Chains A and B, each alone.
Chain A
Amino acid sequence: MSVPRKFGIRILLLILSIFILSSTAAAQNTIYFNSKDITSEIETVSREGELLIKARDLAELLDADLTWRPALKSLEMKSQNVTIKIMANSRYIQIGNDALKTRAGLQLVDNQAYIPLAKSIEAFGYLLEYQRDNEELYIFQPETTINNVSWQEDGNQLQIKMDEITPYRILHSEDGREITIEIDKAVIDQEFSDNISNNNYYLRVVNVPDRALLRLIIKSRTPIPFQIDGGVYEYEDSLVLSFLPQLKDIRIDKNNILKVEATGEIPDAKTKYISESKKMIIDIPSVVIGNFDLDIENHPLIKDIKVTQHDLDPVILRIEATMVNGDIFKPLKREKNSLLAFKPGQRSEITNLDYAAGSFSFDSSSALNPELFLLETPPRLVMNLYHVNRGAGILDKIEVNNSLIKNLRTARFDEQTVRIVADLKELTGYDWVEEEKNGIYHYTVNLKNKFAEIRTEDNDKYQYLDILMDSRAEYEVKKFNYPHRIVVDFKNTLNNLDEFKTIEKTSLIKDIRSSNYQLEGEEVTRLVFELNDYYSHRVETYQDKHGIKIALAKDYLNKQMKEDREIESHLIVVDAGHGGFDPGAIGMTGLEEKVSNLAIAREIASQLADKDQTVLLTRNSDRFHSLQQRVKFANARNADLFVSIHANSFNNPQTGGVETYYNQHENNQNRFLAEKIHDKLGRGLGIYDRGIKESNFYVIKYTKMPSALIEVAFVSNPGEEKMLQSSKFQKKAASLITEGILDYLEENGGK
């Protein structure tokens, strides 16, 4: 093949392709019917700017019956329930009683009837979408029918009921006053009436020319509170649009309660007070302004109320009330979730700001909910008080300079907040307490105490344990014997003992330990001085209870003197548990609890009597007494101490050990007694120590004197059942309990 011929073919191809391209471009409108390109299957012409289709082609497409009456030059097409009529020389398509105006009407071309495509297809209920850019015409059968559009939930919800949810879009106008819901391939039910606007919204349904969709347009005077996120959901076959509740009413009732009501739930509002302009600002989230009633005029308390839609993202409604004389309205407890109520009251004042070692306090005319936090550099504790004013006599700054606090400063932080700042020497823990008396609320902030110094000191007569704290100490000093110990429990105290050098031990002190210990659910720092023998001790405080000085008397080095330590005579009631027809727990080999209880109780009675104590037994024989009788017995005799002896039981024979119960009383004496007794039993009885426990047992709950209930051992445990039967074990238990009682009496003196 020669080069010129090749070239010629190329030219030919080029010309051909240009021809083909231009011919496609020249072809009008690609037409799709239910997504299928039918352009080549139908014949169309354009007349007067309207696209006409050959009537026969349309009839075939829609599977319609076509009747042509040549005499009348009229055409009738019937498909399913719809019949259209069109006559030559008329521009109207008749559908039932309605008529649709077209531009071209019926046209005869080559003796064939051509009718307007768009209008006739719409008349048959089809949807048409014309994409002008690429001249494509889409004919769809509608995929869904909107059956109903209605307002629900007091006008806060728009429900669009349809056969099936087709793709939809929700469009927001810039100013938020118009929302358009576009639903694809949807038609509206014939029966539907457009009259669905409500008090706040104007709604209409719009068919969009050349678009296969339906638009629902909602308009409002004020921005429409529709949330783009989460404002729409699909419920069964409905599309539900939720609107935020709208403000309905602001009024002040005859009791001066300011009420704000909305068409739906109002979240909690934020209130602010601006004292200078005597304004209260109520910011209500997620509520929109709407058409509301405002009925406050010439009110003695409120001069003026202004309502604005403060923000739309997020939605905030702002109510600005200008007060006549600066009263403050405080939110009342919510009764209805669509209603906010405010009651006038004075902003509370704080007064009497005072300080002490490690604490500061003030009074308030109403209950506060303070916020406290620590800041590091410089170390300070910040306390925010809301909706308060500083009362007379509250200074900007007080110089304190005690062991923990340098200064106390107060300032108005912002319109709502007064701030108290304690400049600290160093950061430490804190807590605060509220006490109410005659309507005045007293607040105390306690900084956590710390050890400042621990010393031991020696002289001829005494050895001293000297504990100095940063601030006033809350403590309990307890002495335990065998092994001999002085225990000091400090409340609200940091255990900073690591910071100290080893404390010098004097001759009487064997060891010094510290631990954190749970006392009635509160953590205490426990300091234990282990002593090498029994010594009597005395506790003194100094420096306004910052310091505790415990003196140990060497005089008692003499063992004989120790034995002779004098304890005044007390009346002690010893209660042997159960009895008579109530055997108590029963062991596997048949030991009845009531038996060992009585043996041990009798032994305690005899040992205590040896120490000049007066002892009464609630029962001295195998007799039944009710719990109430036992309590009455001790209370009626005004006893100094009550001790109940029991043996324990559980449905697992392996469980064993000794435990001591007390009932919590505010003077702590029950616990002290239990601690003393159990210290002996836990260490000395030789069985598992199950500890001290708090419980609401009848006899220790209703007796009026210090009391404890001892579960010596488990009768349900075969090993311990055997022990309980032996008089040796009974005596040992009794003597340990006796020692504990005497220890308690020596230190606390009974009732």
Chain B
Amino acid sequence: MGENNMAVKKIKLSPEQKRKMLLVLRVLLLTAAVLYLLFLFYNNYFLDDKIKVYFSTENANYLKSEKRTINQESDLYFQIFDELKSGPESSGLTATIPAGSQLLDYQIEDKMIILNFNQAFRDNHWGGSTGELLTIYSIVNSYTSLEEIQTVRILIEGKEVESLVGHLDLTQPLMYNQKLTEGS
């Protein structure tokens, strides 16, 4: 019987209880605001473990960078390519790396990074001067954003190539391309 009574009993809040509820809500709101600020702060001020990865604008005229947090535990240079491969987060950008592409290994000499890709990187590429430019320079600009890298060489299956798909000269190390970079 008692239990039954309890169940049907309407809950009426006294002004005192209401005040308490409001206080709790306020505290929650404040906590949320503080967390949000912390999040903003974290994103803006701890750029040390952030890298820039470049993607193509949708109109294929420029490259634009997005920031990614790196995992300190795994290899930075592989992570950059993984981020390039997984594509942009914002809607106005387009990925530049063909499906099945793999960075097999890399080597750093002085300030040059030599990136060795698999055959699929070339075979699955959509071609075109614009396509090739944006693919190659999205990689070059991403790696040369790192302080320790000034130039990038690209190899396919360990071999030097004239170009990826018949336009861009890959026999020479490539430098950061400012002209292709939007908003910097």
A-side residues, CB < 8 A to B, are 521, 577-578, 582, 584-586, 593, 626-628, 646-652, 654-655, 659, 661, 690, 694-699, 701-702, 709, 711, 714-716
Contacts and interface: CB of A to CB of B under 8 A. Distances in A.
Interface string B99-135: 0000000000000000000000000001111110110
Contacts of B172: 696
* Interface of A (DSSP majority class): mixed
B148 interface: no
Contacts of A655: 58-60, 130
A709 B133 CA distance: 14
B95 interface: yes
B145 interface: no
Given A651-B94, A651-B95, A652-B60, A697 B128 contact: no
Interface in B84-104: 94-96, 98
Given A585-B131, A694-B179, A695-B133, A649 B126 contact: yes
Contact of A698 (B95, B128, B167): B167
B126 A585 contact: yes
Nearest to A626: B162
B130 A648 contact: yes
B168 A716 contact: no
B31 interface: no
B173 to A, nearest CB: 11
A595 B160 CA distance: 27
A627 B126 contact: no
A650 B127 CA distance: 7
B131 A582 contact: no
A714 B129 contact: no
Contacts of B61: 690
6 contacts: A626-B162, A651-B95, A651-B131, A697-B129, A697-B169, A715-B128
A649 B167 contact: no
A578 B60 contact: no
B167 A650 contact: no
B92 to A, nearest CB: 12
Contacts of A659: 129-130
Interface of B: 56, 58-61, 94-96, 98, 126-131, 133-134, 162-163, 165-169, 171-172, 174, 179
B152 to A, nearest CB: 13
A714 B128 contact: yes
B68 to A, nearest CB: 21
Contacts of A715: 127-128
Nearest to A698: B169
Contacts, number: 98
B160 to A, nearest CB: 12
Most chain B CB within a 10 A radius of its CB, from A627, A650, A716: A650
Given A655-B60, A694-B179, A649 B162 contact: no
Contacts of A521: 179
A650 B138 CA distance: 14
B167 to A, nearest CB: 5
Given A651-B95, A698-B169, A586 B127 contact: yes
Given A628-B162, A659-B129, A697-B163, 7 more contacts: A646-B129, A649-B130, A650-B128, A650-B131, A651-B95, A655-B58, A696-B169
Contacts of A627: 162-163, 166, 169
A651 B133 CA distance: 12
Given A697-B169, A709-B167, A661 B129 contact: yes
A528 to B, nearest CB: 24
A694 B180 CA distance: 10
Nearest to B56: A650
Contacts of A711: 128-130
Nearest to B96: A651
Nearest to B137: A695
B169 A701 contact: yes
A585 B128 contact: yes
Contacts of A690: 61, 130
A654 B56 CA distance: 14
Given A627-B162, A628-B162, A651 B126 contact: yes
Nearest to A701: B169
A87 to B, nearest CB: 67
A650 B179 contact: no
A684 to B, nearest CB: 20
10 interchain residue pairs of minimum CB distance: A649-B128, A585-B127, A648-B128, A698-B169, A649-B127, A650-B60, A655-B60, A627-B162, A649-B131, A697-B167
Contacts of A649: 126-128, 130-131
A697 B127 CA distance: 14
Nearest to B95: A651
Nearest to B97: A651
A31 B161 CA distance: 92
A602 B20 CA distance: 86
A598 to B, nearest CB: 14
Nearest to A582: B166
Contacts of A650: 56, 60, 94, 126, 128, 130-131, 134
